Structure formats: C-alpha cells, structure tokens
C-alpha cells in the first residue's frame, strides 16, 4: 500500500491521482504527531509533500526500512508524455517559469505550467500538452531520484532555507541536483557556484561567447539583449524592473531557444510580460507616491535586488521591512538601506534585531500592515516599497497574503 505524507495542495493532488488510477493508499496529514514506526507496516512506497523535512522521524524510519520515498514530481515524470523543462534557483524561478510558458504559447504550442508555482505537477498531466514547464524547489528535488528533463536551469544560488539544511553546501548540492536529470543544460555564466559546461547553452549579463548563447551589450548609452552577435531588443523595451529581471529574461530566452522556439515570438512575449504578482509589482500611483509590492522577497538578496532596481527611478524610498528572518547574513542589505533608503518601517519578529543593525536611516516600528502603510505614506517619499527580506508566517498566512493585505490597504485608504 502507498502512503502519502502531508495535507497541502501537493498531498491532495497525489491522492486524487492515485484515486483516478485505482491505487490503494493511506494519508497521514500531520506527520509530527506520529510516535510509532508501526505506522509503516504494510507500506511499500511513500509519497512526500515537499514541506516535510528529511529529518522527521517517519522519514528516518522509512529509510531504515528501505521503503522507497519519492515526490509528486517523480511520479509525474513517470506518466508525462511530453517533454519537461525544469527551473530552479534561489530567486527568479517563478518569473522565468511563467515567462517561458508564455513564450511556448506564443509559439502556437500547448503548455502546462506548474510544480512549485500554480498547479501541482500531477494536476498538469494532459495528453494534449506539447511541453511541461515546472518550477522546482530544493525541497522537491530532495525527494526526487528519477526525473526525465529535456532541459533545465539553475538560475542562481544564494543562502536560503538554511533552517532546513545542515549547511549551505547541502543546499547548493540540492539545487545543482537538477542538472543530473537533464538531457541538455542551460547555465547562468554569472553564477559561480554552477560549473561551466562547454556542451551547455549559456546566458549572462556580458556579451555572449558563442553564437548559441544569450547576453547583453551596451552601445551608445543603451543596453540590448543579444543572441550571439544578433541584437534582439533594447532592455528598456521590457516592462519588468531591475537587472535581476534582465537575467531572468535571458534565462527564459535560452530555455526557449534550447527547446526549438522561434526567437521573434519570444521577444514579443518579453516586451508584453508585466511580471508576477508580489514580485516587485508596481501597484498604483497615488498622491505622487508609487507603491511596489515585493512581498515574495523573503531573503536578503531579493530585497537588495529590489532596492537596486528602484534607486535608479526614485530619489526617496520608504521601505517596509521584516518578518521572520532567515539564517543568513543581512549585513549587505543593512549597508544598502543605510546608503539609499529614506525611511524604514519595521514589522514582525525581526523588528528589534533589524533596528539594532540599521544606523543612518529614519526607523519606525509598526504592529500591523495598516500601520506600516500609513507611516510609509506620510514620509514625503516618492516610492513605498514592501520588500520584507523575511518569511511572513509571524503575521500572515504566506507571502501572497502579506502582499494582498499591503495592496488592499493602499487601495482602500489612499
């Protein structure tokens, strides 16, 4: 009999899939309450939700008994008939996944986008699909031993989720494991933690080294996207904000080219793509203040990228910062805030810690998003940026909830 561990969307999608295929299973919703290894009696395979750590007792018991443990992603791979593209990275993977999906559609192909974004992978299965594009988290990769990817990319690797891993090296290896499943690789030349491979397609901010690679060039004061020596479009024609999104676009173009998409429809998508909700999302301009929702920024590097993207557009910025801090070095973020941010409104568990590390910026504390928006909107700034650099679970259900509350406060009050 099969055993499903978890109670979220992934576990439910596995249960529905097994039901449809008349496979007998049992479901354990809260694995933390399991005290007796006898629960594994009669179990011949375990499907694990990505949120369950490998250090939980039930996982350790299963490994000791040599019971196969796998992910919904691996199960999906056994049944998927169309080529699969895998995308992982510490930051940017949702943007690249959705943009590549749009590019495939614009090439008159049918695509299903899912995994760690939108639909669980098993809910995407369809005989009519030409390509599957999956966003893959390190947690999903940890439980995946066999996955047949046509191609894939590790966008970047920065310290994140270190409460889940014994060391940063373990986290790096988790991300890099994606390449073990790829027939061909797409590699970010600017990511030093990814080994370069002459047989792979590469992308990076600099001029491409090979005709098949993607990059950029600055000429007469303007920056352009390139494939080899061919100019594709000006960077300022994209609607996304920031250099990190230049890299995201290069990744999507590289993946699309690798799977045989035409360049012109992909470039059209880049020009039209407005980005995803909660990812440096421009919300509205009210009373001469631009509001940006970057609630997805749950680590320091994400907030650093958001600030760098906005300081070229706005001279004065109020930043709403804080939540549950990650186990990472925030010193570069604090230095950037001290240098460029007009005022900081601190929220959540990190308030006292962050307050002690910020030096030159005007600092205020708020006990709710409503209070934070009120304070930020009255600081005589050109822009208000929600980019917390922290997890959201101390005050909100998730980062999406945090971002929605931020936007609702703006739209109802100003």
Identify the CATH number of the domain in which residue 210 sits: 3.40.1190.10
Q: Tell which of 70, 97, 122 closes a domain.
A: 70
Active-site residue, from 106, 107, 116, 188? 116
| 208, 214, 223, 243, 291 from 205: Cα distances, Å | 8, 8, 10, 9, 28
Same domain as 408, residue 307 = yes
- How many whole angstroms separate alpha carbon 379 and alpha carbon 12? 46
pTM: 0.90
Of the pLDDT bands very low, low, confident and very high (cuts 50, 70, 90), residue 314 is very high
pLDDT in tens, 95-133: 999 999 999 999 999 999 999 998 999 999 999 999 999
Gap between the Cα atoms of 384 and 371, Å rounded: 13
Domain boundary among 233, 248, 272: 272
Mean per-residue pLDDT, 342-357: 96
Q: Is the distance from CB of 191 to CB of 204 less than 8 angstroms?
A: no
Same domain, yes or no: 260 and 146: yes
pLDDT at 196: 87
Query: What are the tens digits of pLDDT across the range 170-224?
Result: 999 999 999 999 999 999 999 999 998 999 999 999 999 999 999 999 998 899 9
Judge if 198 and 297 occupy the same domain: no
Which is nearest to 91 in space by CA: 245, 196, 226, 197? 245
- Give me the torsion for CA of 89, 92, 95, 97, rounded to 10°: -10
Over the chain, what is the mean pLDDT? Answer: 95
For 18-46, how does the pLDDT look when each residue is reduced to its tens digit (9 = 90+)?
999 999 999 988 887 788 888 999 999 99
Give the N- to C-terminal CA distance of the chain in Å, as an integer. Answer: 57
Per-residue model confidence (pLDDT) at position 162: 73
Whether 317 and 251 share a structural domain: no
Note down the domain range covering 178: 74-272
Encoded tokens for 97: 């996944």
Where is average pLDDT lowest: 52-56, 73-77, 233-237, 380-384? 52-56
* The pLDDT value given to residue 414: 61
42, 21 contact by CB (below 8 A): no
Q: Which of 91, 107, 161, 188 is catalytic?
A: 161
pLDDT computed for residue 313 by the predictor? 92
Domain CATH code at residue 403: 3.90.190.20
Compute the distance between CA of residue 344 and CA of residue 385 in angstroms, rounded to an integer: 10
Specify whether 161 is catalytic. yes
Q: Percent of the chain at pLDDT above 70?
A: 100
- Based on the domain organization, do 19 and 142 belong to the same domain? no
Rounded mean pLDDT of 328-342? Answer: 96
Whether residue 99 is found in the same domain as residue 156: yes
Question: What's the domain count of the chain?
Answer: 3
Report the distance separating Cα 43 and Cα 64, nearest Å: 13
Last residue of a domain, one of 70, 98, 114: 70
CATH of the domain at 61: 3.40.50.720
- Give me the catalytic one of 2, 91, 93, 407: 93
Residues 120 and 264 in one domain: yes
Same domain, 223 and 370: no
């Amino acid at each position: 009999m099969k055993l499903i561990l978890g109670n979220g969307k992934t576990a439910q999608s596995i249960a529905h899939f097994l039901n449809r295929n008349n496979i007998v299973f049992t479901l354990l919703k809260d694995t933390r309450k399991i005290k007796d290894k006898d629960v594994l009696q009669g179990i011949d395979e375990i499907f694990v939700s990505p949120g369950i750590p490998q250090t939980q007792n039930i996982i350790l018991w299963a490994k000791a008994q040599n019971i196969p443990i796998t992910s919904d992603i691996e199960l999906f791979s056994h049944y998927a008939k169309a080529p699969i593209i895998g995308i992982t990275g510490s930051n940017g993977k949702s943007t690249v996944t959705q943009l590549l999906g749009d590019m495939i559609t614009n090439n008159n192909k049918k695509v299903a986008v899912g995994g760690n974004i939108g639909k669980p992978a098993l809910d995407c299965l369809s005989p009519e699909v030409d390509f599957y594009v999956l966003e893959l988290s390190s947690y999903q990769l940890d439980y995946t031993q066999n996955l047949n990817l046509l191609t894939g990319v590790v966008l970047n690797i920065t310290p994140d989720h270190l409460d889940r891993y014994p060391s940063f090296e373990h986290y790096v290896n988790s991300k890099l494991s994606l390449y073990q499943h790829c027939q061909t690789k797409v590699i970010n030349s600017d990511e030093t933690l990814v080994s370069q491979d002459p047989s792979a397609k590469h992308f990076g901010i600099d001029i491409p080294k090979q005709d098949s690679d993607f990059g950029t060039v600055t000429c007469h004061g303007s920056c352009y996207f390139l494939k080899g020596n061919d100019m594709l479009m000006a960077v300022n024609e994209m609607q996304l904000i920031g250099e990190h999104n230049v890299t995201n676009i290069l990744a999507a173009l590289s993946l699309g080219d690798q799977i045989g998409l035409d360049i012109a429809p992909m470039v059209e998508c880049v020009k039209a793509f407005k980005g995803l909700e909660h990812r440096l999302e421009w919300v509205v301009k009210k009373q001469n203040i631009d509001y940006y929702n970057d609630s997805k920024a749950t680590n320091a590097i994400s907030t650093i990228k958001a600030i760098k993207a906005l300081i070229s557009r706005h001279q004065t910025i109020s930043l709403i910062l804080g939540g549950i801090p990650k186990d990472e070095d925030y010193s570069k973020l604090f230095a950037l805030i001290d240098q460029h941010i007009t005022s900081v409104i601190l929220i959540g568990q990190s308030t006292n810690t962050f307050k002690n590390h910020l030096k030159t910026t005007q600092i205020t504390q708020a006990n709710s998003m409503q209070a934070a928006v009120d304070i930020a909107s009255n600081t005589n700034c050109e822009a208000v940026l929600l980019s917390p650099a922290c997890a959201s679970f101390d005050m909100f259900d998730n980062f999406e909830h945090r971002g929605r509350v931020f936007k609702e406060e703006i739209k109802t009050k100003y």
